Amino acid sequence: MAILKVAQIGHPILRQQARTVPLEELRTPGFQAFIDSMIETMRDAAGAGLAATQVHEPVQVCVMEVKDNPRYPYKPNIPLTILVNPVLTPLSETKFENFEGCLSVPDLRGIVRRHVELRVQALDRLGEPIDRIVRGITAGTFQHECDHLQGTLFIDRVEDPRTLCTWKEFARQHEARFREHVKEIVEHYGS
Ligand code: NI
């Protein structure tokens, strides 16, 4: 395992469409070690998630975990989740406003509208199928990470650039109101 270097906005790898991972490649020790390194890198950077393109590998893998995250203290916890070749299908047109940040976009946050209910189909790290529904704030995290695998960053989805702010200004200007918004979503959707 190793802590990998996280690509920063401007690096072309972040704009690349990731390729699907064949089962035989996924199950190799080398690929399993790469997944372990992604998990280690995410935890080291206190990210809520990390996509393979962010660590310079254009393969369709993302990892997520939220456990009392200091970068996002209001986020509901997400147990360690590894998605390989994920496909997300929105279950309704209902969206919510999510104030997002990204390890590849230093010191910037902005409001992105995300589907509030999704079907997630993917493989787990061993190649077993995942087919589940995710809702609420957690659905926002899934969409952010899977966007990376298409070469899309959250700033591409910020509809009003006037919502962009530094992390310090987020804490000063927006966090209290956003926490209330998150509370309502969690009460309604459970995560
Ligand atoms: Ni990101």
Per-residue pLDDT tens digits for 147-184:
999 999 999 999 999 999 999 999 999 999 999 999 99
Cα 4 to averaged position of ligand 1 atoms, centre (Å) = 15
- pLDDT, tens only, 89-137: 999 999 999 999 999 999 999 999 999 999 999 999 999 999 999 999 9
Q: How close is the Cα of 47 to the center of ligand 1, in Å?
A: 8
Q: Does position 26 have pLDDT exceeding 90, yes or no?
A: yes
CA–centroid distance, 153 to ligand 1, in Å, is 7
**What pLDDT is stored for residue 75 in this prediction?**
85
Is 145 considered catalytic here?
yes
**In the prediction, which pLDDT does 110 show?**
98
Q: What is the Å distance from ligand 1's center to 93 Cα?
A: 23
Structure-block tokens of residue 186: 């969690």
Neighbours of 56 (CB within 10 A): 14
The pTM for the full model equals 0.96
Strands 105-115 and 129-135: unpaired
Among 123, 125, 141, 124, residue whose Cα is nearest residue 185? 141
Where does the pLDDT of residue 72 fall: very low under 50, low under 70, confident under 90, or very high at 90 and above?
confident
Cα–Cα distance list, 168 to 43, 97, 108 (Å): 22, 20, 9
Which own/partner contact pairs does 74-77 have at CB distance under 8 Å and 24+ positions apart? 74/175, 74/178, 74/179, 74/182, 74/183, 75/48, 75/137, 75/141, 75/182, 76/136, 76/137, 76/138, 76/186, 76/191
Q: What percent of the chain has pLDDT over 70?
A: 100
Distance 14 CA to ligand 1 centre (A): 10
Q: Coil, strand or helix: which one is 178?
A: helix
What pLDDT band is residue 45 in, cutting at 50, 70 and 90? very high
Active-site choice (117, 145, 169, 175): 145
